[in-house]
Amino acid sequence: MKPVQRYLPLFLATLLTVAQPNHLAAAAPKTIHVEWEYGGTADSFRLYQEGSLLCESRDTKTLAMDCEAFIADGPTTFTMTAVGRYGETPHSAPFTLAPPARDEFGNSTPTASFKTNVTTGQTPLQVTLNASASSDRDGSLIDYEWDFGDGHVGSGKTASHTFYHPGTHTITLTVTDNEAATATASASITVKETRRTTYPANKPPTAKISVTPTSSSSYQFHAYDSEDADGVIVGYSWNFGDGSTAQGPYAEHKFTKPGTHIIALITQDDEGATARARTSVKTTITLPQKKDAAPIIPPKTTRHKVTVAWDYNNRTNIKAFRLYYNNRFVCQTTNPKATQISCLATLENGPMTFAMKAVDKKGKVSLLSQGLTYSPGSKENSAHD
């Protein structure tokens, strides 16, 4: 004969539903709800009370049943077996049902129990609580009070609370039955500080001055060689040392007095950081010439209005669009929805090459297009991506 399967059922839970208060009729029948697990095959399952068969279930899929039983005032032991083709398995490990304590009036103390949706998280942490597992053996629960451990309280079978401060908070539930008996249950919630996104520290720009004399007292100044490694230079301030100032990457100035003049440049990037540079020029005053003075802008360069249009699909977190000429910054727009920009630039005559770049809020630079050729006389040059 093939041996009996010996995979024992696991007696998981019991739930008493009291037909009437124990202190009024201790011998009254109670309904026991039983749930178990079993890894083998069976035709039926049997529940024993103190070694005597109490009830049997032939539903082998549900693995749960309700039985009528007389429960004594003291602890009661239950076991289960599985019945199959080759007989009945040995009894499972015993499950002892102990009735709750009673007060001096014979009322059974209620049971407090609750579940939380989370036990840990970052601020602000919202926690929902459910005390449906709380019960009263010989009556009903009429009150649920919550202490969230952070100075706030609540009430009801279900509750919700948000923790705004990090730390370990102990949530305490107090239930009260219809005979004014109480019971408590507690659980801890660990709340951590929310991690904040950090960005690399801003690097200041550089300031570099280039000088081109156009006469004994007139000069051209530009700061096109100034750079910002993680952003863009948005401000250029010139001081010519004679009370005159100018703004922008390019400036022209004529000195009215001879001597040595200290030229100062301050550049400022898009994060507010600045850099300084100084140089000096020596001027002499000459008598007016019959011929016109040399042009302020050398013949090889001309001031042009450059208009560039572009398409760019990924505009999330865009900080600026920038136009470069020979790797030198020309101008920018900080409108993330912009599709066109116009600006004046001093450029060499003939075809010129530009590049258009996009910069996100973290300083990452993306090249929209390069090798854009501009020819004097054309009205518009476009970049598309």
Q: How does pLDDT run across 157-203, given as a tens digit for each residue?
A: 999 999 999 999 999 999 999 988 899 999 999 999 987 767 788 99
- What are residue 186's DSSP bridge partners? 172
Average pLDDT estimate for 301-320: 78
Q: How does pLDDT run across 254-308, given as a tens digit for each residue?
A: 999 999 999 999 999 999 999 999 999 999 876 555 554 444 445 566 677 788 8
Cα angle 31, 34, 38; round to 5: 160
Mean pLDDT computed over every residue of the chain: 81
Close Cβ partners of 197 (under 8 Å, ≥ 6 residues apart):
none
For the chain, what are the domain ranges? 30-97, 115-192, 210-283, 303-374
| Cα gap 127→125, rounded to integer Å | 6
156: left (phi over 0), alpha (psi -120 to 50) or beta: left
Structure tokens at 119: 């036990």
CATH topology of domain 210-283: Immunoglobulin-like (2.60.40)
Q: How does pLDDT run across 52-101, given as a tens digit for each residue?
A: 999 999 998 888 888 888 877 678 888 888 999 889 988 888 888 777 67
**Residue count of the chain:** 385
| Cα gap 339→380, rounded to integer Å | 13
* Contact predicate 119/190, CB 8 Å: yes
Q: What are phi and psi of 184, to 5 degrees?
A: -130, 155
* Contact predicate 173/336, CB 8 Å: no
Domains 115-192 and 303-374 share a fold: yes
CATH of region 30-97: 2.60.40.10
Tell me the CATH number of domain 115-192, given options 2.60.40.10, 3.40.50.1000, 3.40.50.1970, 2.60.40.1260: 2.60.40.10
Q: Looking at the domain covering 303-374, what would its CATH class be?
A: mainly beta
